Amino acid sequence: MLAQTVDANDLLKKMDQTASKIKDKSSNIEMILVNLNTKKEKIKKAVIIQKDGDKKLFRYTFPESDEGIATLSLPNGEMYLYLPLFKKPKKITNLAEGSLNKSDFSVKDMANISYSENYNAKIHQTRETIYILDLNSKNNDMEYNHLIVYLNKKFFYPEKIEFYGLNSIEKISTTKYKKIDGLWVANEVTMQNIKKMHKTTIIMTDIKINQGLKDDEFTLEKLSGSNKNEE
């Protein structure tokens, strides 16, 4: 019997569908930042809540110098930063191009995007447990115009992604998963910056999914840690 032809763009859609089963998520985060040249480590801690892939509130709890710093991501690329020193959220337009509080993740890296809507795929290679997909962006709005995705054949989640700029590889992410309420959920993600010789690992604990988080958890009042409107 002839084997069925596998379409790379269909695989990409299945990957998106797997991610979309998680409607909302909350967790505690430990962020380990490592200089690969000196082996020096820094530890940061945070809490995060997210919904629908385009609503996310991220708040640092450790170290003391970062405590209370928070970002709020909303639909259509709208983003806000809260610094306790200034007591008021500020709309930001250029943070997405930089790093998330000196980590190896940019704000765009932390966003949940639809890969099938933004990239065209072809199968680069097939191995025993993974498909290796070659992705090229459909438009110029993407931070990375070329990706190599290592897609788990059985569960359709990405185990590894290589991020390419115009000329060379820039970052590599690897992800571990655990099963929660019958769904595979990322619980550890490492992003390595090739040029900077630096990596950041995010370890998530106390993960809760599909709790029915309300939209009013993702407001400027919540970002500033207050339920009252600030003047």
C-beta separation of 101 from 69 below 8 A: yes
The confidence band for 100, taking pLDDT boundaries of 50, 70 and 90, is low
Domain extents in the chain: 8-222
Confidence (pLDDT) at 27: 98
Closest CA to 161 of 143, 184, 140, 178: 143
Residue-wise pLDDT for 125-176, tens only, equals: 999 999 999 999 998 778 889 999 999 999 999 999 999 988 799 999 999 9
pTM: 0.88
Asked if the model's pLDDT at residue 47 lies above 90, the reply is: yes
Phi, psi of 12 (to 5 degrees): -65, -40
Q: Give the pLDDT confidence of 70-79 residue by residue, as tens digits.
A: 999 898 878 8
CATH 2.50.20.10 fits 8-222, yes or no: yes
